[in-house]
Structure 1
Amino acid sequence: MRFADMDFDIPDSTVEFEQRLITVLSSPKTQELLDEVHHRADGMDGDPRPLYRHLGRAGLLAPSWPKEYGGLEADPTATVKLLEHMVQYGVPQSLYYISVQIVGSLILQSGTDQQRRTLLPRLASGELTMCILFTEPGHGSDLAGITTSATGNDDGSWTLDGRKTYNLKTAYADLALCAVRDGGETNRYESITLFLVPLTGPGISIRPIPSLSDEQFHDVRLTNVRVEREATLGRVGEGWGLITRMFTAERNGLDYYARARYWLEQITARITQAGREPHVEELVGLAHHRARLRASHLLCYRVLQGLSQGEADIAQASLAKWHCSETAQGIAWWAVQTWGVDALEPGPHTFDAAFREAPGMTISGGASEVLLDIVAGARLLDHASTGG
């Protein structure tokens, strides 16, 4: 899909959705639930699930999904507006993004009829949350090297054993999308299966991992964890193809773009507070980052529009995630480089959390080097196929 093929107009339905979204987010009830999350009474990064259920009851969490699954069948621009305003109003978006935009989208595309009917409406309503258990110690970005095993039982069920690490929001998730090695083909890509694993059953240990950022990571051990045959997402041994498909939804860059946009707004407000005229260096920096942010927005929308039309492109998604995460990281670091330690002091426009989150943005969800390798490889194949 070329940029020239894209429609950048925001339809009236998205305008109406945004107005409705702002009304709910600015309500006293939402503020009350936000305060509870930010209080962090659980000792971690705050449980956002009551807040999600509140937003889900208002029909806001899955605007682009079909109505039969709790969505509004809205234009992709509605999803962009949702993420922009979630960040602006301080709504923690990571658990939502994993549950609805990543795992939920994969279930919508590749799940059974029963899985779609039973899981998607609960995800859209905020009653169900999900996490991803892919990464393992010693493998990092090499997902094809996973060793967590699935052993088939005589009754058709499976027994899972292994360890997953650096898993985001696991303590707040009801189900996990877990990648395991099923003991099938010897090809490392043909013996991976995805399971939807309940996290409340026996044999599952979840331990928090300390982190610089406010987001909580976890180390998960699975010991003789039994799951039913219906827990398989897709066919046995075809998990790698589903993982690749999921990457297109995960790596659209939207969550990084939304944070970058908010941080740049905060920088602009700080620069111009009390009517102060920006310095030349500040104006140059703002222009640079605004241009990159605009490009991030267009890249995100290209991927979302392609997904809505059934055109998944892993190279385009990888480019979008790379650009958006690099842009967000650059904005956070520019704020501290511009004001030094003053940027980290408490106040209405502090960048402490952004600065601590920035280092991991170009690693999580696909390291920049891996993403660029995917983009370069895809473009080389395109070049070869056209005889260039």
Structure 2
Amino acid sequence: MDFDVPPESVDFANEVEEILTAPETGRLLQDVFARQDGMDGNPRELYRHLGDAGILAPSWPVEYGGRGADFTATVALLEKLVAHRIPQNLYCISVQNVGSLILAAGSEHQRKTLLPAIASTELTSCILFTEPGNGSDLAGITTSAVRDGTGWVINGRKTYNLKSAYADIALIAVRTDPQGSQYEGLTLFLVPLNAPGVVIRPIPSLANEQFHDIWFTDVHVDEDALFGQVGEGWSLITQMFAAERTGLDYYARGRHWLDLVAERLDEDGRQPSDVVRAERARHETRITASKLLSCQVMQNLQDGNADIAESSFAKWHCSESAQRIAWWALDTLGPDMLEPGSDAGDRTLEAAFREAPGMTISGGASEVMLDILSSARVFDHAPRGD
């Protein structure tokens, strides 16, 4: 792994810092926090502002709305977004997950028409895989798509999906061959969420950002909504997991939370005990390791060497590390941490406590990540005995 950060990425980080500290960004962020939509706050105007500045897809090729930058620019962007309390889930799902899959596996027409709009957030996207009876076991998907002569008709229900109410299109996994094997019968579509027959309802959430239930009733889509080939959905899902599970967003949040705890301790003039200092050092070491694992995954993705086991390990390590930091923050600062205060740090740590339980479930449960890792043939090149 190359540990050098290109000067261009340092310059980009400084540019992002300037944009995020601008008064207009602060005004738009406060509008999100006001939650005037009755849900978790519509971030689209804020993200259009950031998209207009051209900072949301720095590592994409220029012709698709990016800057052609090194992956370290994306790392710097996530760190800055988290540090300035910009909600990240819409960005990660739309740009880093769906957008990156379109970049890697979409048709040239899809790349040219969709990616610049996603990079500017004129078009936002979400992922609809999970169903009421199928979470980690995506091979059990029952939502169906049937040809109707002029396209496809989709019926089914998806649940526990983040940011669906703020998305224009959804990458949805459906079953197109009920007679085939569980894996061979899956297909992906890019479906407009304003299509007749689509109903979206929020699900209350312990964390700041809500989930959604989505029903599809006789939803017609044209043939060009098909993503990839019929029946190759599972291979595309697996390809997307390698990009989705970099762990970068979990690392960035854990890093920020740990910094906030240190600031609170300094502000209060406390003299941390030897135990607290030792625990803080362990968390510092662990979150640094999380960053290195995440960067290794992203470098391999950039080089075209994505590995699902490596990504799964990074996601597991980063989410577990961030969750432990949130629990440790409460143990260290006490219940006062849970009281929303006048400063951003108070609110951020209180939100972290509510978000922490889901970090090792969303994006791939820790148990599933470890199962994938244990099944990987990581010892193929190890010496073998007779």
Please, what TM-score do these two structures have when normalized by structure 1?
Answer: 0.96
Q: CA deviation at 1:340?
A: 2.6
Q: Does 1:237 align with 2:235?
A: no
Q: 2:282 aligns with which of 288, 291, 313?
A: 288
Q: CA deviation at 1:382?
A: 3.2
Q: Distance in 2 between matches of 1:186 and 1:346?
A: 53
Q: Distance in 1 between matches of 2:382 and 2:229?
A: 34
**What are the within-5 Å matches in structure 2 for residues 117-196 of structure 1?**
117-155=112-150, 157-183=151-177, 186-196=180-190
Structure 1 unpaired stretches of 5+:
1-5
Offset from partner CA, 1:322-375 (integer Å, 9 cap, x none): 000000100000111223311111223322211111100000100000000101
Offset from partner CA, 1:76-97 (integer Å, 9 cap, x none): 1110110011011111110111
Among the aligned pairs, what percent are the same residue? 59
Q: CA deviation at 1:138?
A: 1.3
**What are the within-5 Å matches in structure 2 for residues 94-113 of structure 1?**
94-113=89-108
What SS does structure 2 have at the residue aligned with 1:272?
A: helix
Q: CA deviation at 1:275?
A: 4.2
Q: 1:225 aligns with which of 195, 198, 219?
A: 219
Q: Distance in 1 between matches of 2:4 and 2:276?
A: 31
What SS does structure 2 have at the residue aligned with 1:383?
A: coil
The aligned residue for residue 302 of structure 1 is 296
What SS does structure 1 have at the residue aligned with 2:378?
A: helix
The aligned residue for residue 79 of structure 1 is 74
Q: Distance in 2 between matches of 1:225 and 1:271?
A: 54
Q: Distance in 1 between matches of 2:300 and 2:227?
A: 23
What SS does structure 1 have at the residue aligned with 2:114?
A: helix
The aligned residue for residue 265 of structure 1 is 259
Q: CA deviation at 1:153?
A: 1.6
Q: Distance in 2 between matches of 1:138 and 1:82?
A: 36
Q: CA deviation at 1:277?
A: 3.1
Q: Does 1:323 align with 2:321?
A: no
The aligned residue for residue 196 of structure 2 is 202
Q: Distance in 2 between matches of 1:231 and 1:142?
A: 24
The aligned amino acid for 1:316 is E
The aligned amino acid for 1:271 is L
The aligned amino acid for 1:354 is A
Q: Does 1:49 align with 2:47?
A: no
The aligned residue for residue 379 of structure 2 is 383
Q: Distance in 2 between matches of 1:385 and 1:219?
A: 46
The aligned residue for residue 35 of structure 1 is 30
Q: 1:60 aligns with which of 55, 72, 76?
A: 55
Q: CA deviation at 1:383?
A: 2.2
Q: Distance in 1 between matches of 2:206 and 2:270?
A: 33
Offset from partner CA, 1:195-252 (integer Å, 9 cap, x none): 0000001100101111111111000000000011111111000000000000011100
The aligned residue for residue 363 of structure 1 is 361
What SS does structure 2 have at the residue aligned with 1:365?
A: coil
Q: Does 1:354 align with 2:352?
A: yes
Size of the alignment, in residue pairs? 380
Change (3 A) 1:35 1:315: same
Q: Does 1:13 align with 2:33?
A: no
What SS does structure 2 have at the residue aligned with 1:159?
A: strand
Q: Distance in 2 between matches of 1:20 and 1:44?
A: 31
Q: Distance in 2 between matches of 1:280 and 1:117?
A: 57
What SS does structure 2 have at the residue aligned with 1:221?
A: strand
Q: Give the superposed CA RMSD.
A: 1.1
Q: 2:330 aligns with which of 336, 353, 359?
A: 336
What SS does structure 2 have at the residue aligned with 1:363?
A: coil
Q: Distance in 2 between matches of 1:241 and 1:184?
A: 17
The aligned amino acid for 2:163 is K
Q: Distance in 2 between matches of 1:268 and 1:129?
A: 36
* Contact 1:184 1:237 (8 Å CA) reproduced: no
What SS does structure 2 have at the residue aligned with 1:220?
A: strand
The aligned amino acid for 1:43 is G
